[in-house]
C-alpha cells in the first residue's frame, strides 16, 4: 500500500509541475503585453501632444497671415483711393496721360535733319553741291475730350518761323470721323502717309509739283470692314487766309479698298479732286526740285498758267507681305484755262522695298503706310530694322504749248530703324530730264545726281 502511494506521488509530481508551469507562463505573457501596450500608448500620447502643439502653432501662423493680408488689402484700398482721379500714364514715344471720362493728352513732335549734295552738268549757273537743313522741326499736342471729341495742334519751326501744320477738332463715333480745321485733304497714298514713315526722304515728284498741302476745311470719313471713304470741302492753307490771291475753294473724294489675304495686305484706292480758284486773274504754276528739299533749284517749271480751276484724278495700288512691299500711284492734273487750251499733266511712281532683318515689315493702317516697329530693336538688345527700297519716279509737265519738262527718276534708299521712334536714311537718285527749265552747256536734256542723308526722331 505504502509502495502504491509512493508510486502515485512519484507519478503525479511531474504532472503537477507541468500544470503549475502551464498556468504561470500565460500570466507572465499577459504582464509583458500590458507593459508594451502601456509604452505604445505613452508614445502615441506624446505624438498626439506634439501634433496638437504643431496645430496650435499653424493656427497662430494662419491668424498672423490673415492679419497681414487684411492689412495689405487695406493699404491697397487706401492707395487706390489715393490715386483715384489721377491720370493713367502710358508711353508712345512720349508720355500719354489718360483721365476719367474720356480725357487724354500727349505732347507730339518730330525732328528731321538732312544733308546731301546735288551735281549737275556744268553751265547751269545754279548754286548746287553740298547742302543741309532742318527739314522738319514740329512740336504740338493731341488728345481726346469727353463725348467722342478730339484735338490735334502742331507747329513747324523748321523754316525759322513758326508755321501751323495741323490745327483741328475731331469727332468720332464708331466708323465715322469728322474733322474741322487745318488738315491734309485727301490727295494720295503718298501724301497722306506721314513723312515719318515714307520710303524716301522726299515724296514722289507729283505731290510737290501739283502743290499738295494742308488746307482749312471740313472733312469726314467712314470706315467699315475693308472699305474706307473720305470726303471734304476745303479753302486755302491757313497761312494764306486773307491773301486776296488765295481765296479758292474745292472738294476731295477718296475711296480705299484694303482687304487682307492671308499674310498679304492689299491696298486699292482712287480719288477725285476739284479746286475753283475763284479769281478771274488767277494762275497756277507747277515746278519741282531734284529729289531733295535743301536746294531751291527747280529743274522742272511750267511758269505761270492762267487758270480758272483744277481737276485731278488719282489711282493707288499697294501691297505688303512680310518683309516685302510694293506701292504705285498715277495722278492726272487738268487745268481749266480761260484760253483755248486746257493742259493736262501727269505724274506717278512705282516702288518696291524689302527688309533685310528677320520678322520686320512695313506698317499699314487705315488706308496709309504706318510706323515700322522693329522686332529686335536697340531697346531689346537687337540691331533694329534694315530696309532697302527702289523707286521709279515719273513727272510730265509738257502738254500743248506748255513746256515744263519731263523727269524720269531712278532712286534707291537704305533705311535703318533702331527703334520705333528713331530712324536714319540714305538716298541716292539719278534724275534724267528732258526739256528742263534750266539749260546747261549740253542743252536741256541731261541728268542730275542727288545724294542725301537724314537723321530722324519723333514722339
What gap in Å lies between CA 71 and CA 207, rounded to an integer?
65
Tell me the DSSP string of 131-181. Answer: EEEEEEEEEEEEEEETTTEEEEEEEE-TTSS-EEEEEEEEEEETTEEEEEE
Architecture per CATH, domain 112-132+194-208+222-458, reads as Beta Barrel (2.40)
Main-chain dihedrals φ then ψ at residue 331, nearest 5 degrees:
-145, 130
pLDDT in tens, the chain (459 residues): 444 334 343 444 444 444 444 444 555 556 667 777 888 888 888 888 888 888 888 888 888 888 888 888 877 777 666 666 678 999 888 999 999 888 999 999 999 999 999 999 988 888 799 999 999 999 999 999 999 999 999 999 998 889 999 999 999 999 999 999 999 999 999 999 999 999 999 999 999 999 999 999 999 999 999 999 999 999 999 988 766 556 899 999 999 999 999 999 999 999 999 999 988 789 999 999 999 999 999 999 999 999 999 999 999 999 999 999 999 999 999 999 997 789 999 999 999 999 999 999 999 999 999 999 999 999 999 999 999 999 999 999 999 999 999 999 999 999 999 999 999 999 999 999 999 999 998 899 999 999 999 999 999
Cell numbers 480758284 correspond to what residue?
A: 277
Eight-class DSSP state of 318: E
Residue 93's SS3 state is coil
Beta bridge partners of 185: none
- In this structure, the chain runs to a length of 459
Do the beta carbons of residue 125 and residue 109 sit within 8 Å? no
Amino acid at each position: 500500500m505504502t509502495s502504491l502511494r509512493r508510486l502515485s506521488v512519484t507519478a503525479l509530481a511531474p504532472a503537477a509541475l507541468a500544470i503549475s508551469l502551464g498556468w504561470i507562463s500565460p500570466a507572465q505573457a499577459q504582464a509583458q503585453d500590458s507593459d508594451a501596450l502601456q509604452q505604445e500608448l505613452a508614445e502615441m500620447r506624446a505624438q498626439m501632444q506634439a501634433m496638437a502643439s504643431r496645430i496650435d502653432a499653424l493656427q497662430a501662423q494662419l491668424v498672423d497671415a490673415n492679419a497681414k493680408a487684411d492689412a495689405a488689402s487695406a493699404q491697397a484700398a487706401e492707395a487706390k483711393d489715393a490715386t483715384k482721379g489721377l491720370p493713367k500714364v502710358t508711353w508712345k514715344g512720349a508720355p500719354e496721360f489718360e483721365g476719367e471720362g474720356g480725357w487724354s493728352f500727349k505732347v507730339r513732335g518730330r525732328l528731321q535733319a538732312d544733308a546731301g549734295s546735288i551735281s549737275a552738268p556744268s553751265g547751269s549757273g545754279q548754286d548746287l553741291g553740298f547742302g543741309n537743313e532742318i527739314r522738319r522741326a514740329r512740336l504740338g499736342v493731341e488728345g481726346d475730350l469727353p463725348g467722342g471729341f478730339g484735338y490735334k495742334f502742331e507747329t513747324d519751326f523748321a523754316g525759322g518761323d513758326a508755321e501751323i501744320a495741323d490745327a483741328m477738332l475731331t469727332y468720332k463715333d464708331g466708323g465715322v470721323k469728322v474733322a474741322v480745321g487745318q488738315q491734309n485733304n485727301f490727295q494720295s497714298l503718298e501724301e497722306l502717309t506721314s513723312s515719318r514713315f515714307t520710303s524716301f526722304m522726299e515724296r514722289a515728284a507729283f505731290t510737290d509739283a501739283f502743290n499738295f498741302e494742308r488746307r482749312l476745311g471740313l472733312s469726314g470719313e467712314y470706315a467699315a470692314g475693308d472699305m474706307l471713304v473720305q470726303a471734304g470741302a476745303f479753302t486755302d492753307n491757313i497761312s494764306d487766309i486773307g491773301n486776296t490771291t488765295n481765296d479758292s475753294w474745292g472738294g476731295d473724294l477718296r475711296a480705299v479698298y484694303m482687304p487682307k489675304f492671308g499674310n498679304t495686305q492689299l491696298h486699292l484706292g482712287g480719288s477725285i479732286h476739284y479746286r475753283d480758284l475763284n479769281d478771274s486773274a488767277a494762275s497756277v504754276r507747277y515746278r519741282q526740285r531734284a529729289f531733295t528739299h535743301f536746294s531751291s533749284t527747280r529743274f522742272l517749271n511750267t511758269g505761270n498758267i492762267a487758270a480758272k480751276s483744277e481737276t485731278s484724278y488719282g489711282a493707288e495700288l499697294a501691297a505688303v507681305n512680310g518683309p516685302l512691299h510694293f506701292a504705285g500711284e498715277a495722278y492726272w492734273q487738268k487745268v481749266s484755262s480761260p484760253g483755248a487750251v486746257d493742259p493736262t499733266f501727269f505724274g506717278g511712281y512705282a516702288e518696291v522695298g524689302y527688309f533685310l532683318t528677320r520678322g520686320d515689315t512695313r506698317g499699314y493702317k487705315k488706308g496709309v503706310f504706318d510706323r515700322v516697329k522693329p522686332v529686335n530693336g536697340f531697346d531689346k538688345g537687337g540691331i533694329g530694322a534694315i530696309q532697302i527700297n527702289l523707286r521709279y519716279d515719273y513727272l510730265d509737265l509738257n502738254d500743248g504749248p506748255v513746256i515744263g519738262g519731263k523727269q524720269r527718276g531712278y532712286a534707291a534708299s537704305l533705311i535703318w530703324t533702331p527703334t520705333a521712334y528713331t530712324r536714319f536714311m540714305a538716298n541716292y537718285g539719278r534724275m534724267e530730264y528732258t526739256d528742263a527749265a534750266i539749260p546747261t552747256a549740253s542743252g536741256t536734256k541731261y541728268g542730275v545726281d542727288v545724294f542725301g542723308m537724314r537723321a530722324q526722331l519723333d514722339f
